[in-house]
Amino acid sequence: MRVDENKVIQYLIVVVPLALVLTASFFITTFYLEKVSLYFKTIKERSIKEYVDTKKNKSEIWVEQLNLLFDYKSKRIDESIKIKLKKRVDEAYENARFIYDKYKGKKSSFEIKGRILDSLNQMGDKRKQDALYLSDFNARNILFGVKSNKTIHQRNRSLEEIQMVRKNKEGFLEGKFDGGSTKQVIFVKDLGIYDWYIGSSINVLQEQEILKSNLLEMLKSIPLESSDFMGLYDNKKAIYLSKKMRIFLGDESLDIISKNLSYKSDWHRYKLDDYYYYSKYYKPLDWYLVYGFEISKMSKKELAKQHELEIILDNELEFVVKASASIVIFVVILSLLLSRKINHIFSQYQEEVRSREEELVSLNESLEQRVLDELSSHRQKDKMLIQQSKMAEMGDMLSMIAHQWRQPLNQMSYLFMNLDSAYEYKELTKEYLDDKLKEGNELLEFMSITIDDFRNYFRPDKEKEFVLVSDVVKTSVKLMQKSLDLSGVEIKLESSGKELTHIYKNEFMQVMLNLIKNAKDIVVDKKTKKPKITINTRSEEKKLLVEVCDNGGGVDEDIIDKIFEPYFSTKDKQSGTGLGLYMSKMIIEEHLEGKLSVSNTKDGACFKIEI
């Protein structure tokens, strides 16, 4: 039987291309599906890793900032104790000298001594917790404190005090006196009358416990993100666990964290599924700080990103399957009815292209919306960061308030003592009482105005307002004036032109405080002779210029291009975080649409604000 070659050829023409197309389609589709699945899996894993790494970095920065705060507060204990002791003894000294000078030559020595002892006893009774005592150079006790000074003074400490007073007139003694187990700090001062000297002491351990209590209360008030938790351990015993930490972890996981605490700062995850946590040991307080987060509770942004990837993957897989099936059908029909199906195939191709174009247009629209949402979120975060930076300056502001109030409080104390003495010795008249009441009201009004100035500074800006920039500069200088006076820094203000502008007042004030504080720190650190800060405010054409210049020698040319970078600081970790100039530049250039720059002059550095 002869085989019809024409039929075989016709058969082969149909079957062979069809078989080749089916085979190639199968392998290509399988290969492509594997690649697409692997690609999206890699993207998803990378996204989760980026989320975890970002959270880790933020957590480490947060813990390090808290650690810096602990270190700063701990190192200031000794200084704070000495300030308290000196202030306590100086007030008693001033009171005793006032009585002595007032009645010298008018009363007998016996009566003057009696009045001095009565006055010091009254000061001790008012304070209660303060230890105040009076002795002579023969180690005889004249007045015992309200605490344990009688016991202290009966032991072998008098000789050291007398030597200190005779040699230096006043001074501090530190150590574990009288066989005690805790450190004490003592301050003694020569009264200059009757061979008497006055002294006082503070227990360092008690001050440390007060510091721990204050830091713990501050830690409890810190807000956390929904996925974060925080804990504090004293000698590996939990003294504070955030509510989220107790809810997230439970007793078993908390036991694991407690057992894994060590002196080495590190991240932990093993034996604790779905959680990362970072532990940091602070030796001076014997504290362990734990900060962590739950992996499964990602932010809304990350969850939306994951969901979007899953949708794109499903659409892509569906498209590949449909495209492969369409190609196979298309080739089969083409093999059988090539001549009839050309127009139909072209129409299908056009329809497919149109469908893809619509998908791309839709994707572009969604991308534009996401970009707008991200920009809005970024601006909101910038505002929050500015407010957080301002709150980080609270410590400096509280110090400024203390400087502003210290002298009025001392004057009020002297006023009350004068009234008490006048009443006791029947010298209180109506005119004298009215005069002292008027003086007290003036002091209270000054203190009230001071606290209002600082309260207004911490109120967040909601809307821009038209202000004279020279007035904002004067308010900023007023807040810093006491600190500048104590540092011996002269400040000079110059203004010209109409500097009225539309700005966020408190944000601009935050920038001015940052620049003034930086200038003060530079001239003080470099021990500049006749330190001086000059602030010039002027308007040129349509621009407002503010220049803050110092005579501290200028900025090193090797780092002048880096000083506005975040976390870059020329100070040590205890004195600066590297955020002040970065936040100032962001406020001026992004929120006030201006420009902040720095340059060196012959005397020092000059920061220029252009709005």
pLDDT tens track for 542-565: 788 999 999 988 888 888 888 888
Tell me which range, 325-339, 390-404, 449-463, is most confidently predicted by mean pLDDT: 325-339
pLDDT of residue 458: 53
Q: Among 156-165, 182-191, 291-300, name the one with the lowest average pLDDT.
A: 291-300
pLDDT of residue 531: 93
182 has pLDDT over 80: no
Q: Are 200 and 256 in contact (CB under 8 A)?
A: no
- From the centroid of its chain, how far is CA 412? 35
User: Please, which residues bridge with residue 279 across strands?
Assistant: 266, 290
Contacts of 577 (CB under 8 A, 6+ apart): 65, 68, 392, 567, 569
Q: Are 596 and 589 in contact (CB under 8 A)?
A: yes
Tell me which range, 3-7, 127-131, 225-229, 443-447, is most confidently predicted by mean pLDDT: 225-229
Band (pLDDT 50/70/90 cuts) for residue 212 is confident
Q: Are 173 and 156 in contact (CB under 8 A)?
A: no
86 has pLDDT over 60: yes
Which helix (DSSP H) or strand (DSSP E) does residue 227 occupy?
none
pLDDT of residue 146: 39
Reading the block at residue 512, the tokens are 């001015």
317 has pLDDT over 80: no
Tokens 């944000």: give the residue. 507
Nearest to 548 by CA among 454, 484, 456: 484
- Separation CA 175–CA 178 (nearest Å): 9
pLDDT of residue 331: 63
Dihedral sign, CA of 315, 317, 321, 323? Answer: positive
Q: Are 234 and 226 in contact (CB under 8 A)?
A: no
Q: Among 35-44, 258-267, 595-604, name the one with the lowest average pLDDT.
A: 35-44
273 has pLDDT over 90: no
Q: Are strands 532-540 and 490-496 parallel, antiparallel or unpaired?
A: parallel
Which segments within 111-244 are labelled E, that is strand?
131-136, 141-143, 170-175, 184-190, 196-203, 228-234, 237-241
Q: Among 10-19, 162-171, 508-517, name the one with the lowest average pLDDT.
A: 10-19
For 87, other C-beta atoms within 10 Å of its C-beta total: 15
pLDDT of residue 149: 40
Mean pLDDT of 152-164: 67
Instruction: For residue 390, give the 3-state DSSP assignment.
Output: helix
412 has pLDDT over 60: yes
Phi, psi (rounded to 5 degrees) for 170: -160, 160
What are the pLDDT digits (tens) for 473-493? 988 888 788 778 888 999 999
271 has pLDDT over 70: no
Percent of the chain with pLDDT over 90: 7
Phi, psi (rounded to 5 degrees) for 608: -115, 130
390 has pLDDT over 50: yes
Nearest to 261 by CA among 288, 239, 241: 288
108 has pLDDT over 80: yes
What are the pLDDT digits (tens) for 8-48? 555 566 566 667 767 777 777 777 667 766 766 677 667 66
pLDDT of residue 215: 78
Tell me which range, 63-67, 192-196, 205-209, 568-572, is most confidently predicted by mean pLDDT: 192-196
pLDDT of residue 250: 74
Helix, strand, coil distribution of the chain in percent, nearest 5: 60, 20, 20
